[in-house]
Amino acid sequence: MVAPTDRAVAAAAAIRHHYDVGNDFYRLWLDPTLSYSCALREHAEDTLETAQQRKLRYHLDAIAADRAAAVLDIGCGWGAILREASQRCGVACSVGLTLSPEQAEYVGAQELPGVEVRTENWLHYEPDSRFDGIISIGAFEHFARPDDSTAAKIRVYRDFFTRCRDWLTDSGTLSLQTITYGDMSREQASAFIQQEIFPDADLPTPAEILTAAEGIFEVRSMTTGREDYAWTCGQWAARLRENRTRATELVGEKTVDRYRRYLAQSALGFRMGKIGLYRIVLRPYTGKYFAGRTR
């Protein structure tokens, strides 16, 4: 099994490869919150901005952020959840973890009240106190590596769930959003996306997630959103196409073409069910499974 330190180093390099292309580039085709994850679409007339705001609200409501004193965002991106938690929910203390220096700098520059952003892997994070809620959107996909066996993947995911449980108050909630494999295997996945877009990462299956959480968390709800993600990728692709000239000036034609190809393949994969998207709300078990809990 890969050592945690080696895993963390590889994960950080992979994240920088993808997310540190440049904030200005992403700003051209994401919504104003820079939410780089599946939106939550409910109506045909929804705009990307409306659907992304609904997604943020969904996760904040899931952890009862309006009543939370402390919130942790694992894989905080450009800080959309942190900003909403601070400005709209009045959370006194919000911590965001990211492996992208550019994202961390962007969030820090906003000087959001009560917000701390750390360029740190969850494998190394040691909080001083517990949280009322934890949100993780689009990070879980990066926890496993392509050469991990199913058993090794489950061990990594179980480590994540164990840490989250121990970081939460007894009444706390974890709201998780992740891409998963659908009706294709790892071997059938796009080599282009695996090697050029998200290197050193491997998607989970729904079964691996549930197996890893067993005895640690109770799944309170689990909903699929792959059609939402097909639509979201389509929205991003259209915006990138509309802003191709400026995008090419920023990152070059080769990078723009790579992202357009990736968004098109992803939209098709979600539409066909090759890959899926799940939103999972989990609560820590409070019975016999808590006997060995770290305090």
At residue 17, the pLDDT reads: 41
Secondary structure (H, E, C), 120-137? CCCCCCCCCCCEEEEEEE
pLDDT along the chain (295 residues), means of 10: 51 46 93 97 97 98 98 97 97 96 94 97 96 98 93 98 97 98 80 72 95 98 98 98 97 94 95 97 77 43
- Ordered structural domains, the chain, with CATH: 4-21+37-226+275-284 (3.40.50.150)
At residue 3, the pLDDT reads: 53
Q: What is the DSSP letter of 93?
A: E
At residue 20, the pLDDT reads: 56
User: What global pTM score does this model have?
Assistant: 0.90
Contacts by residues 169-172 (CB-CB < 8 Å, ≥ 24 positions apart):
169/130, 169/131, 169/132, 170/284, 170/286, 171/132, 172/63, 172/130, 172/131, 172/132, 172/133, 172/134, 172/283, 172/284
- Look at the alpha carbons of 92, 75, 258, 278 in this order and tell me if their dihedral is positive or negative: negative
Any idea which residue has 């945690």 for tokens?
4
At residue 292, the pLDDT reads: 46
Residues forming beta bridges with residue 144, ordered by sequence position: 202
Take residue 229 and report the two structure tokens written for it.
Answer: 């993600």
At residue 200, the pLDDT reads: 77
Q: Which helix (H) or strand (E) holds 286?
A: none
At residue 4, the pLDDT reads: 58
At residue 14, the pLDDT reads: 45
At residue 104, the pLDDT reads: 95
